[in-house]
Amino acid sequence: MDSRMMDAVRAAGGPIEAIGRDLMLHAETFGRSEDQGYPHPFAGYFAGRGGVLGDVDWEVIDAVFAVFEPSVTRMFWEQGRPVHGAAEGARLYWENVAEWGREHLAGAAGLDRIIELGERVIDAAPAAGMPLFCGWRVMPRAADAPARAMQVLFLLRELRGAVHLPALISSGIKPVEAHILNKGTEFAAFCGFAEPFPDCSHLKALKEEVEEITDRRMTEIMGLALSAAEAEDLAVLAAGALKAASST
């Protein structure tokens, strides 16, 4: 395993996760969902992000997302899906991703390079066991650099999630436990889980093993498309994009 490549994967993972989270939870994104007729911003999120999986039952969305308390998934998917249907919901959400990029990444450096390097990784990534990532991968991307770069970063986030979740589930760590270990009980509550929350201190070492498995597999995937130096470039540019977005 190339340690330099793995270091780059780790350096890129944080900014890519953060900029995707900022997009998904941003007031502008919520406002667009409401303007599109969704009764709640999270109805737009579930119908949009899950829409690439088709007009499926809520259990399918819950199985693939795997991070929310199931009743939350059911409520927002069943609120959101009927508004525009799954396919149109996904299209609208994809356009929201593009618009957010236009508004928040226009001043970021190296957008064309993010697109070039990121799309090479996206194209080289395997399809097996990654339905959500693959659903988004086949969506048509915007032509302008700020919008397309944000869509690429969104896809890279979905790729890492598609690698991470099976490793987490195989470890036996429950979603609520993972939330507590990652961001604390407030985030677990945000995802719909209720008190009393479990003591997860005994799972820290196991969670670190899961992160190591994720990083190793992402290193393998990134190595299919990039050199270590190119992976380092992508990490630096992703961090710069996050900084630019955070300042707007």
Q: Are 80 and 192 in contact (CB under 8 A)?
A: no
Determine the Cα–Cα distance for residues 36 and 81; give it in Å rounded to an integer.
Answer: 12
For 166, the token pair is 């099976």
Considering just the CA atoms, what is the radius of gyration of the chain in Å?
18
| 226 three-class SS | coil
pLDDT tens-place string over residues 143-194 = 999 999 999 999 999 999 999 999 999 999 999 999 999 999 999 999 999 9
DSSP letter assigned to residue 142? P
Torsion of CA 29, 35, 36, 37, to 10 degrees: 120
For 142, the token pair is 């915007």
pLDDT tens-place string over residues 17-67 = 999 999 999 999 999 999 999 999 999 999 999 999 999 999 999 999 999
Determine the Cα–Cα distance for residues 45 and 40; give it in Å rounded to an integer.
Answer: 9
* Span 115-132, average pLDDT: 97
- Helix/strand/coil percent split, the chain, to 5: 75, 0, 25
For 96, the token pair is 């929201």
Burial of 11 (0-12, 13-18, 19+ CB in 10 A): middle
pLDDT exceeds 80 at position 227? yes
Determine the Cα–Cα distance for residues 97 and 95; give it in Å rounded to an integer.
Answer: 5
Q: Residues 111, 112, 117, CA angle at the centre, nearest 5°?
A: 100
DSSP letter assigned to residue 199? P
pTM comes to 0.96
Q: How many percent of the chain have pLDDT more than 90?
A: 97
Determine the Cα–Cα distance for residues 231 and 223; give it in Å rounded to an integer.
Answer: 8
Residue in 57, 64, 149, 67 with CA at minimum distance from that of residue 102? 149
pLDDT of residue 2: 85
Question: Amino acid letter at 178?
Answer: A
Domain containing 25 equals 3-246
pLDDT exceeds 90 at position 89? yes
pLDDT of residue 58: 98
Q: Number of folded domains in the chain?
A: 1
Contacts of 110 (CB under 8 A, 6+ apart): 233, 237, 240
